[in-house]
């Protein structure tokens, strides 16, 4: 996507308004307009990279340090008990804006846990398939030739009920309600 049509480039250039929570010479962090929780923050590099794979390694290291620092700010500012730090690369992975970005999503004890298994189904693979994938990754091929590995079958797992925090759900809710996000 050309930079002139990129929403996040426009935010970085102050051409589109955003609720910025952090900005320096190379990165911007702002509240997501479709938050999954209060304090859901997007962190972007000011320079346009479509995915993480396009960013030079030195820049990626510095950028991730910025992401880590902002994540600490969000965690403290929202009084969250945890955080999901998410980053998608490409449409198949769910990347909706084709500009490298991280989602910092504060999580609260009264929500119940969302694990990786709750987002993606487990897929069973036999030893032969695992060996092929392992060899392809080690060789730097990324993936075997199309059709070489059979598509795994999803494993249907029972859903789980969120666990209540040990301190009591009411206590966690009260702490959450005291936060002034204005």
Which residues belong to the active site?
101
- Residues 33 and 101 sit within 8 Å (Cβ to Cβ): no
3 state SS for the chain: CCHHHCHHHHHHCCCCCCCEEEECCCEEEEECCCCCCCCCEEEEECCCCCCHHHCCHHHHHHHHHHHHHHHHHHHHHHCCCEEEEECCCCHHHCCCCCCCCEEEEEECHHHCCCCHHHHCCEEECCHHHHHHHHHHHHCCCCCCCCCCCCCCEEECCCCCCCCCCCCCHHHHHHHHHCCCCC
Token digits of residue 76: 């403290």
**Residue whose pair of structure tokens reads 């396009």 in the numeric block:** 54
């Amino acid at each position: 996507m050309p930079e002139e049509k990129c929403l996040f480039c426009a935010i970085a250039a102050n051409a589109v308004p955003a609720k910025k929570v952090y900005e320096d010479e190379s990165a911007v962090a702002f509240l997501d307009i479709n938050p999954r929780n209060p304090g859901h923050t997007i962190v972007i590099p000011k320079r346009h990279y479509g995915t993480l794979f396009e960013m030079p390694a030195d820049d990626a290291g510095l950028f991730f340090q910025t992401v880590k620092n902002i994540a600490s700010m969000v965690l403290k500012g929202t009084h969250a008990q945890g955080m999901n730090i998410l980053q998608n690369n490409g449409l198949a992975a769910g990347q909706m804006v084709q500009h490298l970005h991280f989602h910092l999503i504060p999580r609260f004890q009264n929500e119940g846990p969302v694990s990786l298994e709750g987002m993606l189904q487990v897929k069973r693979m036999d030893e032969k398939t695992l060996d092929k994938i392992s060899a392809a990754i080690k060789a730097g091929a990324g993936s075997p030739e199309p059709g070489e590995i059979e598509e795994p079958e999803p494993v249907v797992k029972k859903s789980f009920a969120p666990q209540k925090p040990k301190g009591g759900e009411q206590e966690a809710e009260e702490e959450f309600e005291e936060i002034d996000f204005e």
